[in-house]
Amino acid sequence: MKLFQYDNFPQVTGSRVSLRQILETDIKDLIEISFYDAIRAETVQQAAEMQSKINQDYLDGNSIHWGIVDNANHNIVGTCGYYRGLDKGEGELGCVLLSQYYGQGYMTEGMSLAIDFGLHTLGLKRIWAATGQQNGPAIKLLERLNFVKTADLNDDEIEYELQK
Ligand SMILES: CC(C)(COP(=O)(O)OP(=O)(O)OC[C@H]1O[C@@H](n2cnc3c(N)ncnc32)[C@H](O)[C@@H]1OP(=O)(O)O)[C@@H](O)C(=O)NCCC(=O)NCCS
């Protein structure tokens, strides 16, 4: 697969959800979970500007940001992706669900697909994630996916790494 070209964005299909490119028409539904450099969008315009930067990061080979779609009805339920490290053959995974889709297993499957793609298509040698020490749902998610805690970072953040 030839990666990092706009018209060749990697789609990953699973049994209940799929990972696909985020389209302009999705942006209005994603404002509450649109972030760039840890700043959250407050308007459609800000979210669209962030999405342009994310698209450029993808074309530069620095990140892959997927929408997670429910296969049954095609609704976007959240996003996940690799946001750092790809230039070194590693990947920092991040993810966020729209709040109405919490607690239904969507992210466990979405992240599993992203991990599989990272290991087998991108050939990443290390996959990690960072979250807050108090972020119970994220810690539970990462542990369910076979990540283990590897470091205490600054500002109450902790780092988890996938055990292969
Ligand atoms: C982190 C986050 C994605 C976790 O969301 P989540 O809803 O707990 O994760 P999932 O979608 O995988 O759902 C798992 C839960 O659904 C339950 N579930 C219900 N139906 C299910 C089904 N059909 N299949 C699997 N699990 C199901 C699971 O038992 C689990 O609940 P539990 O954690 O109480 O045991 C969410 O809290 C979030 O978006 N937070 C803000 C952003 C963030 O912190 N990101 C983390 C950065 S690393």
d(CA 86, CA 62): 6
Angle between helices 136-144 and 106-120 in degrees, nearest 10: 50
Query: In the block, which residue shows the tokens 């990953």?
Result: 12
Answer whether residue 157 shows pLDDT above 80.
Answer: yes
Q: What is the pLDDT of residue 1?
A: 54
Q: Is 21 exposed, middle or buried (0-12, 13-18, 19+ CB in 10 A)?
A: middle
Can you tell me which atom of ligand 1 is nearest the CA of 108? 12
- CATH superfamily, domain 6-162, is Gcn5-related N-acetyltransferase (GNAT) (3.40.630.30)
Once rounded to an integer, what is the mean pLDDT over residues 64-73? 98
106 burial type by CB count under 10 A (0-12 exposed, 13-18 middle, 19+ buried): buried
The full set of domain ranges for the chain reads 6-162
How confident is the model over 34-49, as pLDDT tens digits?
A: 999 989 999 999 999 9
Q: Is 136 in the pocket of ligand 1 (CB under 6 A)?
A: no
Does residue 33 have a pLDDT over 70?
yes
Ligand 1, atom 22: closest residue by C-alpha: 105
Q: Which residue's alpha carbon is at the smallest distance from atom 34 of ligand 1?
A: 103
Tell me: the pLDDT tens digits for 78-116?
999 999 999 999 999 999 999 999 999 999 999 999 999
